């Protein structure tokens, strides 16, 4: 898939994508990047297996000023199986282009905290928080356990690390995509505490996985509440939950 097509599947504010590291160890059932990477298995077996690995030749990429680059949209730079030296190599390239903004998204922001002193300031840090369930109050989401959906750190952990003091100096963004059933008051509190200066992106699953989705009215209420607090919301795929049809 070309970078332009990948960009269109992601965030509207992205100028271009750059995947020096491909692969992820979170095994999310809804992951489109894994399916796309499998098409490259003849050229790169590690891409086919979606094993986190660095394409060193991509570290020579040049970037224009005043653009916004999504880093490793075809993987998770900070997932548990990404190597220390690989992460540092990517961050060193980012540091060379202070007039370019780089977008780093992960489901493991604990490692962002670990690398906080190495992350240049010309970045936006983002995490995905699809739900607050699988916390103390909700042991399961409908007929699903969160582990059935992803083996990434639970969203409550992501929230905790995104509010860590070591990340306060960075601009932040939250992705609620694909949105799963949630408690409105809890999710709203989490987002307000994270203080996403770069906004929130919200959307439903695009691939018919029949996930435990909230009713559309509830999602629209969340958007309304966020905007009341002057938080910019990017509306992705908004539709009725699959079970509402």
pLDDT in tens, 201-231: 999 999 999 999 999 999 999 999 999 999 9
CATH number of residue 104's parent domain: 3.20.20
Res. 142: pLDDT tops 80: no
Res. 7: pLDDT tops 60: no
pTM of the model: 0.93
Range of the domain at 25: 3-244
* pLDDT band per the 50, 70, 90 thresholds, residue 141: confident
pLDDT in tens, 36-85: 888 877 789 999 999 999 999 999 999 999 999 999 999 999 999 999 99
* pLDDT band per the 50, 70, 90 thresholds, residue 137: low
At residue 74, the pLDDT reads 96
Res. 131: pLDDT tops 60: yes
In the chain, how many domains are there? 1
* pLDDT band per the 50, 70, 90 thresholds, residue 139: low
* pLDDT band per the 50, 70, 90 thresholds, residue 4: very low
* Residue linked to tokens 């929230």: 159
* pLDDT band per the 50, 70, 90 thresholds, residue 245: confident
């Amino acid at each position: 898939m070309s970078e332009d097509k990948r960009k269109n599947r992601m965030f509207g504010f992205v100028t271009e994508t750059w995947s020096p590291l491909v692969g992820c160890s979170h095994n999310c059932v809804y992951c489109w990047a894994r399916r796309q990477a499998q098409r490259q298995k003849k050229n790169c077996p590690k891409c086919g297996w979606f094993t986190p690995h660095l394409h060193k030749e991509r570290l020579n990429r040049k970037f224009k000023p005043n653009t916004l680059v999504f880093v490793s949209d075809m993987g998770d730079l900070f997932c548990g199986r990404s190597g220390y030296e690989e992460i540092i190599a990517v961050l060193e390239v980012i540091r060379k282009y202070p007039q370019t903004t780089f977008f780093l998204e992960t489901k493991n922001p604990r490692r962002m905290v670990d690398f906080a002193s190495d992350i240049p300031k010309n970045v936006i840090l983002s995490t995905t928080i699809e739900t607050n369930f699988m916390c103390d109050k909700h042991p399961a989401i409908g007929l699903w356990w969160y582990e059935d959906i992803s083996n990434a750190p639970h969203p409550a952990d992501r929230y905790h690390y995104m509010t860590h003091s070591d990340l306060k100096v960075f601009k932040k963004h939250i992705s609620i995509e694909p949105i799963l059933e949630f408690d409105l008051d809890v999710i709203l509190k989490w987002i307000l505490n994270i203080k996403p200066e770069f906004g929130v992106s919200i959307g439903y699953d695009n691939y018919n996985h029949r996930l435990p989705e909230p009713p559309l009215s509830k999602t629209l209420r969340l958007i309304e509440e966020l905007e009341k607090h002057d938080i910019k919301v990017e509306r992705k795929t908004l539709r009725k939950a699959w079970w509402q049809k």
